[in-house]
Amino acid sequence: MSNPHRGITIPVAPERLSSKATGIERVSGVVGSLALILCVAGFFGNRPAFFQSYLFAFIYWAGFSLGGLGVLLMHHTVGGRWGVTIRRLLEAQMRTLPLIAVLLLPILFFGLAQIYPWARPDEVAREPILQHKQGYLNVPFFIARAVVYFVIWLFWGLRVCKMADRQDETGDPSLVNRMRAFSAPGVLVFVLTATFAYIDWVLSSDTQFFSTIYGAMLLIGDVLQTFALAIIVLVLVSGKDGFQGRVNSKVLHDLGNLMFAFVIFWTYLSASQLIIVWPANLPQELQWYQVRVHLFWKYVTLAIALSMFVLPFLLLLSQGRKRNPVRLMRVAIFILCARVIDLFWIVEPTFRRNGFALYWTDFAAFIGIGGLWIYVYIGQLRRRPLLPLQDARIAPAIPEAVV
């Protein structure tokens, strides 16, 4: 790659994760496995409570895998140095999709009746609305759709990763256009399938609520947390020299701007759903919000408004903060923590209608699934160079370091 400061060519070094990452990988795997073993006690002790906790944890960690695929396809469609710089991180996130498919199996085989009212025949017999939806919300079709979702996601994700690996090997410049042509329709297919997946996996647990924005709102939240994770990992792995200055203030500024944009987009969708539902004053739809502003849940609602919009919005207005790796990373960590609260607020009040409640399985399932996800993610990230080796769009090496 050309260096405008020195007029020489500096190839992209095949940097890989340090040995510290191997230690983190092992600890994550052990802690995650132990936490999931602990969850077995919750499964036999209080199965409904366990699956409520498991669903919340599953949706949060699956969001990184889906968000990684979505941003990866978006990058190949629109281009940009920001996407090339974090592409290996996105590919590693996408490659955790087989783990997410495996983690969905306990819900499919043991938890449907615990989570979804349409999977309980006695309740379907009593509720006309469930009978009306039975053509779509039934166990065989639900499982079949889940299989189709993962087949589509893995097809697009692995195919584009295969082309990226070939680019590393051959440096063929035509592969950029081929990846763009393949990814562009993939973005549309991904958005549609992911939206339907969230309607299936989360929204259908409350068959009284209707929202055309719901799936998109969750998906944009996934994209937001994907950018946050990418910023954190990029700053940590790039070291003091920022991969010879390729991870510089301009790249970080672009990533900060994208994270800022999706903070606003998430807020727009969340506010739009509220604006549509609340003035309509329809009991079936309004109840979803009434439960979430009842008793202690109202304080959680306020915390989400502050942590998912107000504070990130104000913090990311600063150009200096978006160019400073440590300060930007702190904002990204804050957003990932806020997203935990956001998804807990979305998932759990459907089941805990008598007020806010925390179960020990909430922590065990979150740590268990999270530990395994981090283990697989680091394993995927460790197998390949941290930067694309022969993509002409990678930032040129410059004397500027990250820190």
23: its two tokens: 């230690």
How confident is the model at residue 282, as a pLDDT? Answer: 75
How confident is the model at residue 244, as a pLDDT? Answer: 78
- Least confident range from 225-229, 293-297, 395-399: namely 395-399
Q: Which of 82, 73, 400, 66 is nearest to 261 (CA)?
A: 82
Provide the total of helices (H) and of strands (E) in the chain, helices listed first.
19, 2
- Cα separation, 332 vs 336, in Å, equals 6
Q: Which of 213, 175, 242, 173 is nearest to 401 (CA)?
A: 242
- Summarised one tens digit per residue, pLDDT across range 5-41 is 343 346 676 777 888 888 999 999 999 999 999 999 9
- Cα separation, 19 vs 13, in Å, equals 17
What average pLDDT does range 387-396 have in this prediction? 80
What average pLDDT does range 153-158 have in this prediction? 96
What average pLDDT does range 362-389 have in this prediction? 94
Task: Compute the chain's Rg from CA coordinates.
Answer: 22
How confident is the model at residue 3, as a pLDDT? Answer: 41
What average pLDDT does range 328-340 have in this prediction? 97
What average pLDDT does range 293-317 have in this prediction? 94
Cβ atoms within 10 Å of 68's Cβ, excluding its own: 27
How confident is the model at residue 345, as a pLDDT? Answer: 96
Quote the percentage of the chain above a pLDDT of 70: 96
Q: What is the mean pLDDT of the chain?
A: 91
59: its two tokens: 């949706």
205: its two tokens: 């647990």
pLDDT over 50 (residue 134): yes
- Summarised one tens digit per residue, pLDDT across range 263-287 is 999 999 999 998 888 887 777 778 8
What average pLDDT does range 385-396 have in this prediction? 82
Give the confidence band of 46 by pLDDT, cuts at 50, 70, 90. very high
What average pLDDT does range 181-200 have in this prediction? 96
Exposed/middle/buried for residue 378 (C-beta within 10 Å: 0-12, 13-18, 19+): buried
- Cα separation, 250 vs 229, in Å, equals 18
The torsion angles phi and psi of 9, rounded to 5 degrees, stand at -100, 125
DSSP for 131-175 reads HHTTTTSSHHHHHHHHHHHHHHHHHHHHHHHHHHHHHHHH--THH
DSSP for 269-313 reads HHHHHHHHHHHHT-HHHHHHHHHHTSTTHHHHHHHHHIIIIIHHH
Give the confidence band of 226 by pLDDT, cuts at 50, 70, 90. very high
Beta strands in 167-214 (DSSP E): none
Q: Are 37 and 372 in contact (CB under 8 A)?
A: no
How confident is the model at residue 119, as a pLDDT? Answer: 95
Residue 177: its H or E element: helix 174-201
How confident is the model at residue 10, as a pLDDT? Answer: 60
The secondary structure of 216-281, three-state, reads HHHHHHHHHHHHHHHHHHHHHHHCCCHHHHCCCHHHHHHHHHHHHHHHHHHHHHHHHHHHHHHHHC
Q: Which of 76, 161, 223 is nearest to 380 (CA)?
A: 161
What's the pTM value of the predicted model, to 2 decimals?
Answer: 0.93
What average pLDDT does range 354-381 have in this prediction? 95
What average pLDDT does range 206-214 have in this prediction? 87
Give Cβ neighbours of residue 316 (< 8 Å, ≥ 6 apart).
256, 259, 260, 263, 322, 331
Domain boundaries, the chain: 23-207+367-378, 213-358
Considering only residues 242 and 343, tell me which one the structure prediction assigns the higher pLDDT. 343
pLDDT over 60 (residue 2): no
Give the confidence band of 211 by pLDDT, cuts at 50, 70, 90. confident
How confident is the model at residue 401, as a pLDDT? Answer: 46
- Least confident range from 66-70, 244-248, 345-349: namely 244-248
- Least confident range from 195-204, 210-219, 263-272, 384-393: namely 384-393
- Least confident range from 69-73, 254-258, 353-357: namely 353-357
Cβ atoms within 10 Å of 151's Cβ, excluding its own: 12
How confident is the model at residue 366, as a pLDDT? Answer: 97
- Least confident range from 5-9, 53-57, 128-132: namely 5-9
How confident is the model at residue 399, as a pLDDT? Answer: 55
- Cα separation, 194 vs 286, in Å, equals 25
Give Cβ neighbours of residue 35 (< 8 Å, ≥ 6 apart).
364, 365, 367, 368, 371
Three-state DSSP class for residue 9: strand
- Cα separation, 271 vs 301, in Å, equals 13
The torsion angles phi and psi of 338, rounded to 5 degrees, stand at -65, -35
Q: Are 369 and 36 in contact (CB under 8 A)?
A: yes
pLDDT over 50 (residue 4): no
Q: Are 21 and 375 in contact (CB under 8 A)?
A: no
What average pLDDT does range 330-338 have in this prediction? 97
